[in-house]
Amino acid sequence: MRHGLVAAVSVLVVAALCGPARAHGGASVVPVLGEVVPPLPAGVEVTVVASQVSALIEIHNPLDEVLEVAQVDGTPWLRISRAAVEVATGVADTYASTSPSGGTVPSDVAAGTAPNAWVRVNDVGEWAWFEHRLHPADLVLPRGALPGEQSSITLANWVVPVRLGDQTHEIRGTLELRTPLGAIQAALRSGPPQGLRVEVLSANVPGILASWAGPGVLVVLGRDGEPFLRFTATQVEVNVASATHREAELARGNPAPAFIAAGSGEHWERVAPTPTYAWVDPRTRPPIDLAADVTEGSEIVDLLAWDIPLEIDGVAATLVGVTRWMPFAASGSDRSRLPWFVAGAVVVGGVLLGVRRRGRPLR
């Protein structure tokens, strides 16, 4: 229980202090997706999604035609199509894109002497990564600049070129300085299965704190139906080959594996010595750029209904929940302090309470 509680509070504090990118005066730098020029074909979806530390780009391509992403020098490192996602083992961005801080690039890759090969890492035609053109290290905030109560300041533009077949497209957006007017809250809609105690952790990307006391084995399934987490009476394991594991690490702001070959089977690693574990779950994540009538209003708004499938000794079960927008006015909070849900986590102390989303497509 102690290990699980520490992990849970850590998730909350990181979310509260970091947001998309914390600036001065309580404001945050938010990457906002603008348009794709020229438009991509219908069905190809580009979104900017939140993590606890920095934003990511996610692209879904249901077409046979390959969409290719290159690093700044023009060297391709990522290919996405309906059949597969592939990354280049000899290109720096394959590794740098796994971490908000730039990742660890092997020395021979950085020197340009590593052999290059394309490795298949996904069979569902979708990939998310830390795109460092969305959070440049040389970004300068104007002195004394703070947005008003219901406004934002555009600091810079960003562009990520991609190629679909023979056509080059530009994903365009802006970096905006915004004052937070509320916070994300998440909760279960119904009680968990018998033997499972759950607390939903409200944060920029909400998380789950679970403790298993049942007689059998509890498996949390990933977004593609693959085994993701496994709880027994003595420990918790994660399937590092799960695409959801990679997405969860990215959403938490942790470095994720550069690549794990698709179809390599299950690879389990112990992550907790007790049957209690907290993780950030991307399925609970709302859009990063909420409409102004939501963020500037005084009403609590349901943003996303979600479900997390489970198996208990092979019997199906589900965690069903909702993610909401909670205006500070509705929660009675002072935006100059830590968000109200962090204080709530500390009050809980030692007490352990016991869908896949797609963003707005750009075409």
Question: Do 206 and 265 share a domain, yes or no?
Answer: yes
Cβ atoms of 217 and 310 closer than 8 Å: no
Q: Is residue 355 part of a domain?
A: no
Tokens representing 291 are 């409409």
Question: pLDDT by residue for the chain (363 residues), tens digit each?
Answer: 444 444 444 444 444 334 455 544 467 888 999 999 999 999 999 999 999 888 999 999 999 999 999 999 999 999 999 999 999 999 999 999 999 988 789 999 999 999 999 999 988 899 999 999 998 878 877 765 555 544 678 889 999 999 999 999 999 999 998 888 889 999 999 999 999 999 999 988 999 999 999 999 999 999 889 999 999 999 999 999 998 999 999 999 888 877 787 777 899 999 999 999 999 999 999 998 888 889 888 899 999 999 999 999 999 999 999 999 999 876 554 444 344 333 333 322 222 222 333 333 333
Q: Distance between CA atoms of 43 and 36, rounded to whole angstroms?
A: 13
Q: Distance between CA atoms of 5 and 235, rounded to whole angstroms?
A: 15
Question: Do 96 and 189 share a domain, yes or no?
Answer: no
Question: Do 78 and 209 share a domain, yes or no?
Answer: no
How distant is the alpha carbon of residue 197 from its chain centre? 24
Q: Distance between CA atoms of 204 and 154, rounded to whole angstroms?
A: 21
Tokens representing 260 are 């794990």
Residue type for position 314: G
Whole domain around residue 160: which residue ranges? Answer: 28-178
Q: Distance between CA atoms of 232 and 2, rounded to whole angstroms?
A: 17
List, in sequence order, every residue forming a beta bridge with 307; answer none if it has no partner: 320
Tokens representing 323 are 């993610």
Q: Is residue 356 part of a domain?
A: no
Question: Do 188 and 306 share a domain, yes or no?
Answer: yes
Query: Quick one: pLDDT at residue 20?
Result: 52
Residue 146, classed as helix, strand or coil, is: coil
Domain count, the chain: 2
Q: Distance between CA atoms of 273 and 284, rounded to whole angstroms?
A: 26
Cite the beta strand spans of the chain per DSSP E: 28-37, 45-49, 56-60, 67-70, 76-80, 85-88, 118-122, 126-129, 152-164, 167-178, 182-188, 196-201, 207-212, 218-221, 227-231, 236-239, 268-272, 276-280, 301-312, 315-327
Q: What angle, rounded to 10 degrees, do the helices at 340-348 and 2-18 form?
A: 170
Q: Is residue 354 part of a domain?
A: no
Question: Do 133 and 241 share a domain, yes or no?
Answer: no
Question: Do 193 and 115 share a domain, yes or no?
Answer: no
List, in sequence order, every residue forming a beta bridge with 324; answer none if it has no partner: 185, 302
Q: Distance between CA atoms of 247 and 86, rounded to whole angstroms?
A: 16
Question: Do 283 and 212 share a domain, yes or no?
Answer: yes
Q: Is residue 55 part of a domain?
A: yes
What is the value of pTM for the model shown? 0.80
Q: Distance between CA atoms of 1 and 275, rounded to whole angstroms?
A: 8
Write the DSSP assignment of 266-279 as a string of letters.
--EEEEESSSEEEE
Question: Do 7 and 56 share a domain, yes or no?
Answer: no
Q: Which of 178, 204, 222 is the last residue of a domain?
A: 178
Q: Which of 178, 212, 232 is the last residue of a domain?
A: 178
Question: Do 252 and 306 share a domain, yes or no?
Answer: yes
- Burial status of residue 295 (CB atoms within 10 A of its CB: 0-12, 13-18, 19 or more): middle
Q: Is residue 361 part of a domain?
A: no
Query: Quick one: pLDDT at residue 21?
Result: 53
Question: Do 220 and 74 share a domain, yes or no?
Answer: no
Question: Do 169 and 196 share a domain, yes or no?
Answer: no
The strands making up 276-280's β-sheet, listed across from edge to edge, are 196-201, 207-212, 276-280
Question: Do 210 and 230 share a domain, yes or no?
Answer: yes
Cβ atoms of 10 and 346 closer than 8 Å: no
